[in-house]
């Protein structure tokens, strides 16, 4: 597996972009342990480094949002009420968050919000009043970093057991866990 980033700085300004001014994090597999189609708040379990990583972002004054595909809604496996209940529990354990953006559609629905499409990233950036180029998206699968790229944001892949080797190879920035991903964001933030 690739190690985290010699020579890649996700927080530094780039041509046509700004320093990181907001961080958008995938929910399942990145913030919390992935329980497929989870509609039960009692099953929410934070990833090991999540709380400390989020605290560092908040202490640095960066708004943190959550972006999450929830195709279980389209598949009839859970309702938006279930998704909201799980999100509420995530907030209780790890919050506060600047917002939650969800895509309730299935992969075949062709919507603009389902990652790897950029819709949720663009919506979150607009809601937070931050240009997409000033956002960093952190997630555990290729669709997360592809959504970032499609929106003009920067992405950091934090691989888990479900991450494909091809997704790791294709990612510009890879970190071993959420804490290291946050270190990379903050290291490049500078005074800007």
Question: Domain residues of the chain, as ranges?
Answer: 22-187
Place domain 22-187 in its CATH homologous superfamily: HAD superfamily/HAD-like (3.40.50.1000)
pLDDT means per 10 residues, the chain with 192 residues, are: 37 50 98 97 97 97 98 97 98 97 96 97 98 97 98 97 96 96 81 29
What crossing angle do the helices spanning 80-94 and 50-59 adopt, rounded to 10°?
70
pLDDT at 6: 34
Of the candidates 135, 142, 137, which has an alpha carbon nearest to the alpha carbon of residue 14? 135
Report, as residue numbers or ranges, the catalytic residues: 26, 28
The whole-number pLDDT of residue 18 equals 52
Q: Report pLDDT for 2.
A: 32
* CA atoms of 23 and 154, how far apart (whole Å): 10
- Helix ranges (H only) for 70-190 are 80-94, 119-128, 142-151, 165-170, 178-187
pLDDT for res 10:
46
């Amino acid at each position: 597996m690739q190690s985290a980033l010699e020579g890649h700085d996700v927080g530094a300004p780039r041509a046509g972009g700004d320093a990181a001014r907001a961080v958008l994090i995938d929910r399942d597999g990145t913030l919390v342990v992935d329980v497929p189609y989870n509609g039960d708040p009692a099953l929410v379990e934070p990833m090991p480094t999540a709380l400390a990583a989020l605290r560092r972002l908040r202490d640095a004054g960066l708004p943190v949002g959550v972006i999450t595909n929830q195709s279980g809604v389209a598949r009839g496996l859970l309702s938006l009420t279930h998704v909201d209940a799980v999100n509420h529990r995530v907030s209780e354990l790890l919050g506060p968050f600047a917002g939650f953006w969800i895509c309730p559609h299935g992969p075949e629905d062709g919507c603009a919000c389902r990652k790897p499409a950029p819709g949720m990233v663009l919506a979150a950036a607009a809601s937070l009043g931050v240009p997409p180029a000033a956002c960093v998206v952190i997630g555990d699968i290729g669709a997360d970093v592809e959504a970032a790229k499609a929106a003009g944001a920067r992405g950091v892949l934090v691989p888990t057991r479900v991450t494909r080797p091809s997704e790791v190879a294709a990612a510009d920035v890879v970190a071993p866990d959420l804490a290291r991903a946050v270190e990379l964001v903050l290291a490049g933030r500078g005074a800007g």
